[in-house]
Amino acid sequence: MAGDRSGVVRRGVAASGRALGRRLHDLALTETFRSSLGGAVGIALGVAGRAVEAGASWTLVDGLLVGMAAYQVLYVVLTLVLYLPAGPEVVARAAATMPRRGPLHRWLLLTEPGAGAALAVGLGAMVTAVVVLPQSGGLPSGLPQPVLVAVGIVLVVSAWATMVVTYAIDYLRRDLLDGGLRFAGDEPRVFADYLYVAVAVATTFGTTDVTVTRSALRRTVTGHALAAFVFNAVVVAISVASIVSLAT
């Protein structure tokens, strides 16, 4: 009798643990959680670097660059680690937790995927490419020039990856909630399908073999294609030219 009760208790504890784990996992899938965590870590690193002296303390420029790069890298890694293994049911559940919440969340708080986050990281990468990399030797920085250049390169590369990933999440959310993308085949959609679309738009400025069937989603794809064109034509080109100039 006591053994039966003990077994019931153990099963109850195990079920509660699984339910808690699922809730925590679902929380981690939300854009608010991943964006906020990345932002918090980025701010902490930027502030900590300025507070701790190591030969020469970081300047505001150093803190901004390191903080932005850390935010982008963490956001991309977290999203890929959480979403790539997720099955169709988990992905659909995640989409339901990310309704459109208005301009404040999209353009200022960056807790909605898509255009707002892409614009923010794109502007940061453009400033890095136009100002930081070409003038790395003359900027007010406490970092050695090679380290400053390396941080700038990481920022630009991770900004491109962030734009791809945030648009992939936006396509996932919009398609699973409202429809608008028609893929070849009948398999249930997973994150890799939407990452494929985002990479295609970022590199070819089109959706290749995926058909866009809703006007709202066409506007999203158009905005993504324009942002990708500017990033590739301006930010990447200037960054490469600056790196070649520094190396010669």
CB neighbours of residue 127 within 10 Å: 16
Q: What is the pLDDT, as a whole number, of residue 7?
A: 58
Quick one: pLDDT at residue 141? 86
Contact 228, 163 (CB under 8 A): yes
Q: What are the pLDDT digits (tens) for 184-211?
A: 888 999 999 999 999 999 999 898 899 9
User: How many domains are contained in the chain?
Assistant: 1
Q: Is there a contact between 176 and 122 (Cβ–Cβ < 8 Å)?
A: no
Buried b (16+ CB within 10 A) or exposed e, 162-172: bbbbbbbbbbb
pTM of the entire structure? 0.88
Task: Give just the sign of the alpha carbon dihedral 110, 118, 170, 36.
Answer: negative
211 beta partners? 182
Positions in the chain short of pLDDT 50: none
Sequential DSSP letters for 53-113: -SSS---HHHHHHHHHHHHHHHHHHHHHHHHTT--HHHHHHHHHT-----HIIIIIS--S-
Q: How much is the pLDDT for 1?
A: 56
Question: How distant, in Å, are the alpha carbons of 65, 134, 202 from that of 124?
Answer: 9, 15, 18
Print the domain residue range for 70. 2-247
User: How far is Cα 196 from Cα 164, in angstroms, rounded to an integer?
Assistant: 9
Note the pLDDT of residue 193.
97
Cβ pair 178, 144 in contact under 8 A: no
Identify which of 114, 105, 229 has the alpha carbon closest to the alpha carbon of residue 171: 114
Element (H, E) at 182: strand 181-182
